[in-house]
Chain A
């Protein structure tokens, strides 16, 4: 028989114990058996991920159903599924989780009722710079107008709300209104747009940095690619906007694309020995209130007949500027599919009653100890 103890310890900054709770973990849920079923049977099995979506999980080649050990915070947890198919997930999405939900656990639970997200800061009230590219190995530029659109991508390495994009531009003639949109897919819809008066841009071919501020602020997610899509629909070849680029870019997050049909289709602006990327900056704020997720450790088993046990442990640090009351704790495990995909699945959810309040600056150590007894 396997049982598990759940231990919650509240510590001050010096890691001195302030409060300790121990209870029997009661709540391994159905998703645990989904992953064990995949492990035992080698079958493909449809499971519900932490976002409520059905995902087919397998363990083809090197699949890792039931992986719990994870790096801290937003650190990339990379794994293989088949041959060289690498999958990525943020470390905080795997391993022990905490939340504020109070509803009783059921076998059908696929996520914590109200998970506290990972965050290492007090919610921000001023903009910080996120992704940027300011190198110019070889000076270059691109001209957009009418149905000729231009796109520069970036990969988000810091989850935040997007408030501002900066581009270096100049005008030729009077291009009229310039629209800057942000898209997750170049050919998809804008998730936010802003306009500027193209006729007010400099005519200096060196260009000027232009701040493009958005009235609404979409959330940019970790490791997701976004596209800055530029167009001046009222312009033409003599009334256009020129955007300053590096013609030999060395940015790991992507390469420019251009479109001659108003974004209906796109071609990469690269070729043998060159690739273009706009000089750009994007600015925003991480306004989420969360708790800092440390790495999730899975310690070596120990045995003392008739028992054997091992420890799963994670530290949480409250640097949110306020208090958190933890009412639920759980474990998310990684499941994979050979087709280069991975997801988190909730395998345990325990309600902690009464909740344990972690003050700003304090730590919470959560420990699960699975144990077998013969």
Chain B
């Protein structure tokens, strides 16, 4: 195994200034991909506008806007397993602070290439955590606190994916999933964002850092 993820990766700030890709009034995300070799040198970088809040995002936000503590919500959300969920407000609600080695939630990587649709509730083909063939090692998710300049506000969600599989791993889709607590007392995971990107090959021993910068412009 040539690559390992750190338990708490250093937050990678690619630009000191807030990069603005949204138009005024939009709430969205800027997706940044940085491929780094064994020495941490960036060998490839992509920055793009994330296009695809999927269906689950809206009821999640809706619940956040109207759900009181401890209440159960109607089953209007689908988990990443495709099951309808009756969500319960709790500390876990909408959390994406996934720990190391966890590929249930947080930023996720996949190999599917089908264009996103509103109805997507999971990545098409999740790249699982591990060092086996076709797998990537998932770091813990970290966060950059909210910041703003004259027109733009944002905060950042970051995760490292290290390739220790012994061969290339190709990433074609990226998602953001959050955790929730549904009745009766079961953890579930829900996909909020799914983006399909042109293939990015992570060679063995290299690390892909993915930043979602959740952003809005006045």
Contact = CB atoms under 8 A, between A and B. Distances in A.
A252 interface: no
A178 interface: no
Interface stretch (A59-67, A187-195, A230-238): A59-67
Contacts of A64: 67-69, 89
Interface in B127-162: 143, 145-155, 157
B53 A63 contact: no
Nearest to B59: A301
A40 B53 contact: no
A298 interface: yes
A274 interface: no
Interface residues of B, number: 54
Given A40-B94, A40-B97, A45-B145, A107 B155 contact: no
Interface of A: 1-4, 24-30, 32-34, 36-37, 39-43, 45, 59-69, 79-81, 105-108, 298, 300-301, 303, 305-310, 312, 333, 370, 372, 374
A62 B155 contact: no
B122 to A, nearest CB: 15
Contacts of A309: 58
20 contacts: A2-B57, A3-B26, A3-B27, A4-B27, A32-B27, A41-B143, A61-B69, A63-B69, A67-B64, A67-B65, A67-B68, A107-B148, A107-B149, A298-B66, A300-B62, A300-B76, A308-B118, A333-B65, A370-B61, A372-B57
A374 B177 CA distance: 16
A65 to B, nearest CB: 7
Contacts of A4: 25, 27
Contacts of A3: 25-27
A303 B57 CA distance: 12
A308 B148 CA distance: 28
A5 B9 CA distance: 39
Max chain B C-beta neighbours (<10 A), residue from A24, A64, A81, A370: A64
Interface in B89-119: 89-91, 93-97, 116-119
